[in-house]
Structures are given as C-alpha cells and as structure tokens.
C-alpha cells in the first residue's frame, strides 16, 4: 500500500497561525480557518514516495517563491510604524503587517519541516559505537565484590558464562594496587588511581561533611551528556560515589553490608520503573563470605552462584523493558583475596575478571590473545563505558577504552595501550 503524500495547511486568523499536516486530501471543512478564512495549501510538502529529496527541493523553491513575493509587496516595518493621521488606517496597516509576518514565519516553519524530512529520508545507516549520545545506547556496570577469577571458574555461574560466550573477556585483569573495596570501586568509575581521585579509605567514615572523588565519575559525565543515571550498592560506604546532581536514582543499603538478593531486588525495581540509561550495580556477598569464612571455600563458591543469580535477574529486567540488545554490560570485581583478607602486593587480591557483552562486541573473544603488552585494568571500565556512550573523558585519566573488543577494531595489531602514570601509592 502506497502512502499518500503529506500535505500542509496554513491558516491565518486573528488568533495566529495554525499549521496542520496530514496525508491525503483535505475535506472542505478542513480547508476553512477558525474565522472562515481561506487557508493556503502546500501539497506534497512531506512526500513518502521514493524520491523525497527532489520533492522537498521543489517545495522549498515554492516556499521561497512565496517569501520573495511577500517581500516585494510588503512595505518596510518602519513604514508601518509611522504615525497616521487617521487612527483607523493605522490600525489596518498594523493588522496587515502582523498578518504578513505571521504568514512569513509559517512559511519558514514549513521550510524547516521540509529540510528535516530530507534529513530523515537520507539517514538510513545505523550509528557505530562512540559517535555521540544517541540514547539508543545504554551501559550496565556490575561489580561482584571480591570475586577472584579462579573461584568464578569453579562455580556454577550460567549467566556470567553466557556473557562470556556473548562477549569479550579476560580473567587476568588487574585492580588498583591497594586492592580494597572503596578506593578500587571509585577507580573503576573515574578511570584514575586512588591517589588521583582522593578516596583512599575503605570505611563508611562519619565525616562532618561529605567527601567525593576529585575526578568526575561516570555518572557525572553521563548526566552532563544527557543520559539518566542510577546506582544500586550493597555497602553503605558507596555514599562516597554520590556527588550532588550525579544520580537520577539510587539505592544504597543503610547497613554496612547487605546480601545479594536484596541488591538484585532493588536493581530490578529501578530498571523496570525508572529505567536509568547508565546503571551501576554492586553485589557484596562474595566479599562478605570471604571475610567470614575464607576465599576459595565451598561457601564462597555458593556465594558466587548467588551473585550469578542476581546478574541473571538484572539481565532479565533489561530484556523485559526492551533494552538488552542496546546495552553494553561490563561485569568485573574490585579485588580478589586470600585467606580471609585482601590487600596490596598479592596477585590473588589484585587479579580480577573483566567481561563485556553488548552491541558490536566480539563474541567468545579472549582478550589475552594480544599478549603481555596489552593489559586490562579496572580503570578501563570507566574509559570503555565513556567510549561506547560517545563521552569524552578528562585527558588525565589512566584508563583506556578496550576498542579491540568491538567488531570494527583491527584484529592483527591492536593500538598500543595508553601509557599509565607511575603509581605513587605507599604500600
């Protein structure tokens, strides 16, 4: 069935200008203004036929013809403003001037519509990652606190494994040298080291006034770019990641640490009701169990399975609202651990998983194929999210976007990793 052409009516009356666009012909009633004034009809202004540019060019020329004719028949504005001896003549002159100006403005509006129709008809190619905030791209960052990669491999975690199958990954990523929760998470979401962002403590300190990172968070940059933002966190100390006007919606547990099912419940609720475009979700139970029982224990493996169930619930919520196919999902951790603790100078604490899946991401793609010169660090989570959303991060960040995981990246020779500033941390 062929679409009828779009026609436009411009009705000039004492109340102003009325513009009506519709397909097909107009009835006789539609061709009369509110005061019985005959309107001007411009046919085929927005044509749905196969050659819209030519049709639009023709109508643009028609509109310009109307404007030239008006300009040639209308006196200057100053002339209409001259004092008139006869007040009735002056009133008619001013009324005629206002009517003509309304008509000219209506013509300009219709010309703008024609130009927009041309742009829409010529825009047929899908956008690629990092070309700007189209708001058809979304980001979900999931952190499973304390999840060491080998413990993940021992657990029955079908949802996380499915993300690895769908996307790109490494089980040899590295967190900050400190390898503790709060500084590492702030680095994950700012792209800089703890010495740069300034959050170097790991407790919910009762400060006289809040202290926030010295570098902008992913939420702040996303908000500035026009994205809506949200956070769900299972530890109360994440209040340090909530600078004013950075989050549209958030839930942070009021107790020092809660459990994963509660986090999943709040994350699902946030996704289904408020639908933030950039969302961070923190699952705490794996770390809780590690400190209580130990890393690598049977109890912790069960905790990883519980976290995986939470990840599955969050993914299902994205699918329910129709956003799964447009969302870049990054699953990682803030640190690993050994014994009942974690900290600096221990590879068991510093080694973390890094998994990404979403639009344009290579499936089942092990990022360690690029060799030792190409390492992935927790700072790269921030930079990769910015890259995908088309956000330009501050120049001094230490993170780099993992472009190699996208389909349009060069396979044989990845770009050399961005030089990182030497660590100034005191261990």
Please give the chain's pLDDT, 427 residues, in tens.
Answer: 444 444 444 434 444 444 444 344 433 344 344 444 444 443 333 333 333 444 444 444 544 454 454 444 444 343 434 444 444 544 555 455 555 555 555 555 454 454 444 443 333 333 344 333 446 899 999 999 999 999 999 999 999 999 999 999 999 999 999 999 999 999 999 999 999 999 999 987 767 788 999 999 999 999 999 999 999 999 999 999 999 999 999 999 999 999 999 999 999 999 999 999 999 999 999 999 999 999 999 999 999 999 999 999 999 999 999 999 999 999 999 999 999 999 998 999 999 999 999 999 999 999 999 887 789 999 999 999 999 999 999 889 999 999 999 987 544 333 343 344 443 333 3
Please enumerate, as own/partner, the contacts of 180-184 that have beta carbons within 8 Å and a separation of 24 or more. Answer: 180/334, 180/335, 180/342, 180/343, 181/145, 181/146, 181/235, 181/237, 181/287, 181/334, 181/335, 182/237, 182/238, 182/240, 184/334, 184/335, 184/378
Residue whose pair of structure tokens reads 């539609």 in the numeric block: 30
Residue whose pair of structure tokens reads 């606190």 in the numeric block: 145
Q: For the chain, what are the domain ranges?
A: 6-122, 138-405
- What is d(CA 390, CA 248) in angstroms, rounded to the nearest whole number? 20
pLDDT at 371 (0 to 100): 83
Secondary structure (H, E, C), 106-140: HHHHHHHHHHHHHHHHHCCCCCCCCCCCCCCCEEE
The answer to whether 168 touches 317, Cβ cutoff 8 Å, is no
- What is d(CA 378, CA 375) in angstroms, rounded to the nearest whole number? 10
- Which helix H or strand E contains 293, and what residues bound it? none
Note the residue count of the chain: 427
Residue 122, Cβ neighbours under 10 Å: how many?
A: 10
pTM of the model: 0.67
Q: Where are the alpha helices (DSSP H) in 343-410?
A: 347-350, 379-389
pLDDT tens digit sequence for 40-93: 443 333 333 333 444 444 444 544 454 454 444 444 343 434 444 444 544 555
- 10 Å CB burial of residue 309 (0-12, 13-18, 19+) is middle
- What is d(CA 181, CA 203) in angstroms, rounded to the nearest whole number? 9
Specify the fold of 138-405. Alkaline Phosphatase, subunit A (3.40.720)
pLDDT tens digit sequence for 371-389: 877 899 999 999 999 999 9
The encoded tokens of residue 386 equal: 């910015």
Residue whose pair of structure tokens reads 């196969």 in the numeric block: 50
pLDDT at 91 (0 to 100): 53
pLDDT at 167 (0 to 100): 98
Q: Where are the beta strands (DSSP E) in 192-271?
A: 229-233, 249-252
pLDDT at 204 (0 to 100): 76
The answer to whether 179 touches 187, Cβ cutoff 8 Å, is no
């Amino acid at each position: 069935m062929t679409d009828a052409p779009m026609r436009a009516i411009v009705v000039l009356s004492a109340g102003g200008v009325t513009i009506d666009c519709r397909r097909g012909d107009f009835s006789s009633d539609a061709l009369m203004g509110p005061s019985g004034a005959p309107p001007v009809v411009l046919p085929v202004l927005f044509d749905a036929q196969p050659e819209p540019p030519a049709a639009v060019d023709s109508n643009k020329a028609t509109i310009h013809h109307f404007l030239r004719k008006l300009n040639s028949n209308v006196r200057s504005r100053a002339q209409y403003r001259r004092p008139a001896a006869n007040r009735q003549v002056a009133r008619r002159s001013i009324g005629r001037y206002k009517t003509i100006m309304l008509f000219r403005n209506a013509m300009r509006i219709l010309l703008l519509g024609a130009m927009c129709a041309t742009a829409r008809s010529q825009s047929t190619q899908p956008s690629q990652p990092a070309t700007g905030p189209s708001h058809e791209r979304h980001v979900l960052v999931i952190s499973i606190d304390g999840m060491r990669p080998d413990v993940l491999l021992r657990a029955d975690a079908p949802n996380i494994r499915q993300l690895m199958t769908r996307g790109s990954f490494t089980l040899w990523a590295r967190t900050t040298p400190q390898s503790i929760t709060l500084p590492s998470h702030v680095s994950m979401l700012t792209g800089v080291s703890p010495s740069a962002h300034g959050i170097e403590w790991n407790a919910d300190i009762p400060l006289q006034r809040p202290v926030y990172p010295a570098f902008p968070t992913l939420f702040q940059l996303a908000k500035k770019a026009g994205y809506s933002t949200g956070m769900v966190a299972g530890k109360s100390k994440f209040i340090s990641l909530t600078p004013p006007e950075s989050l549209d919606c958030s839930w942070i547990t009021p107790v020092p640490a809660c459990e994963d099912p509660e986090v999943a419940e709040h994350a699902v609720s946030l996704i289904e009701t408020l639908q933030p475009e950039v969302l961070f979700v923190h699952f705490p139970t794996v770390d809780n169990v590690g400190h209580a029982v130990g890393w690598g224990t049977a109890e912790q493996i069960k905790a990883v399975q519980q976290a995986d169930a939470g990840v599955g619930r969050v993914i299902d919520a994205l699918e329910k609202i129709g956003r799964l196919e447009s969302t870049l999902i990054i699953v990682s951790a803030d640190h690993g651990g050994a014994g009942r603790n974690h900290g600096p100078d221990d590879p068991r604490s510093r080694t973390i998983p890094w998994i990404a899946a979403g639009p344009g991401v290579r499936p089942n793609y092990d990022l360690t194929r690029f060799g030792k010169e190409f390492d992935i660090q927790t700072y790269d989570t921030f930079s990769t999210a910015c890259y995908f959303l088309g956000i330009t991060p501050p120049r001094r960040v230490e993170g780099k976007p993992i472009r190699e995981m996208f389909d349009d990246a060069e396979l044989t020779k990845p770009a050399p990793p961005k030089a990182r500033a030497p660590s100034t941390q005191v261990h």
